[in-house]
């Protein structure tokens, strides 16, 4: 198989929380324009994988290269400038900042990001509430805002942690539409998701994680054949 160099290439990634060894050698690739989903049960290390790739967890070994650049020694505040945008599981909307300020907080790191106008066209709710404090938004709106503020920066890779968690089906559908729009624009997405139905609609490829290791990977086309094994692995 002659693979072009992936945008994100992770090899033998180990990570620790204090003394606790959380990741045991994760290998994964995300190609330009691809949407890849990490599947797995609670607490198997999906979020940790994202945080270790981003460099939020500093106690890590192995290699993370992004756009051909070794990211292991890059300080956390330079990671975003390489083109990696992070949307945390808890959304991370700042209570002391207005919606507008939240949106403008992450610095623009590259050309090609959405303008504020485009963003407000994509998320009309946010424009209506641009002056209210960030945490006065509903959960769904907060999730939109968390995604929107990364779109402004021109990041090439979106690290998206459980965007549908705790949200009503209508909102989940809306987020799905947003992701499809982003895919059409050529955005590369690494998604962590428990909601398998949601993930199966947007993802091109899947990795299944268990006990801090990748135990399976397959394309969206292979999905129907894997359902049985997946149900077992995910306990759904």
Positions touching another protein (CB under 8 A) are 54-56, 76-81, 86, 88, 92, 94-97, 101, 104-107, 109, 153
Looking at the Cβ atoms of 112 and 177, the one nearer to another protein is 112
Q: What are phi and psi of 113, to 5 degrees?
A: -75, 165
Contacting residues for 59 by C-beta, under 8 A, at least 6 apart: 15, 16, 17
- Write down the H helix ranges in 30-138: 46-54, 76-82, 99-104, 116-122, 124-128
Rank residues 160 and 214 by Cβ distance to another protein and give the closer one: 160
CB of 108 to another protein, least distance (A): 9
Q: Which of 86, 2, 98, 99 is nearest to 47 (CA)?
A: 86
Beta carbon nearer to another protein, 107 or 186: 107
Work out how close the CB of 109 gets to another protein at its nearest, in angstroms, rounded to a whole number. Answer: 6
How far from 29 is each of 53, 89, 162, 189, 191, CA to CA, in Å?
12, 21, 19, 11, 13
Least distance from another protein to the Cβ atom of residue 57, Å: 10
Q: For residues 56 and 223, which CB has a smaller minimum distance to another protein in the complex?
A: 56
Q: Do 215 and 46 contact (CB within 8 A), yes or no?
A: no
Place of tokens 């300080």: 75
The CB-of-194 to another protein minimum distance in angstroms stands at 21
**Closer residue to another protein (CB): 74 or 223:** 74
Q: How far is the CB of 50 from another protein (least distance, A)?
A: 11
Q: Quote the least distance from Cβ 177 to another protein, whole Å.
A: 25
* Least gap, CB of 11 to another protein (angstroms): 22
Residue closer to another protein by CB (options 75, 124) is 75
CB 84 within 8 A of CB 65: no
- DSSP-H helix ranges across the chain: 46-54, 76-82, 99-104, 116-122, 124-128, 139-151, 169-184, 196-202, 223-234
Closest to another protein by CB, 110 vs 168, is: 110
Q: Is 109 helix (H, G, I), strand (E, B) or coil?
A: coil
Provide the 8-state DSSP code for 154.
T
């Amino acid at each position: 198989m002659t693979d072009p160099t992936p945008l994100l290439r992770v090899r033998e990634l180990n990570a620790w929380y204090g003394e606790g060894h959380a990741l045991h050698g994760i290998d994964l690739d995300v190609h330009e324009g691809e949407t890849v989903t990490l599947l797995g049960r609670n607490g198997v290390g999906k979020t940790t994988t994202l945080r270790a790739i981003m460099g939020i967890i500093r106690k890590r070994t192995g290699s993370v290269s992004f756009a051909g650049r070794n990211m292991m020694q890059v300080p956390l505040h330079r990671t975003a400038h390489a083109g990696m945008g992070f949307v945390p599981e808890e959304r991370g909307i700042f209570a002391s900042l207005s919606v507008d300020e939240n949106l403008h907080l992450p610095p623009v790191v590259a050309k090609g990001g959405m303008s504020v106008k485009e963003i407000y066209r994509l998320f009309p709710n946010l424009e209506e509430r641009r002056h209210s404090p960030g945490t006065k938004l509903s959960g769904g709106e907060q999730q939109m805002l968390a995604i929107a503020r990364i779109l402004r920066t021109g990041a090439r890779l979106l690290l998206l942690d459980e965007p549908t968690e705790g949200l009503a089906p209508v909102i989940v559908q809306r987020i799905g539409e947003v992701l499809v729009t982003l895919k059409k624009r050529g955005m590369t997405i690494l998604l962590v998701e428990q909601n398998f139905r949601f993930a199966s609609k947007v993802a091109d490829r899947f990795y299944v994680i268990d006990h801090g290791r990748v135990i399976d990977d397959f394309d969206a086309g292979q999905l129907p054949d894997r359902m049985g094994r997946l149900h077992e692995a995910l306990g759904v």
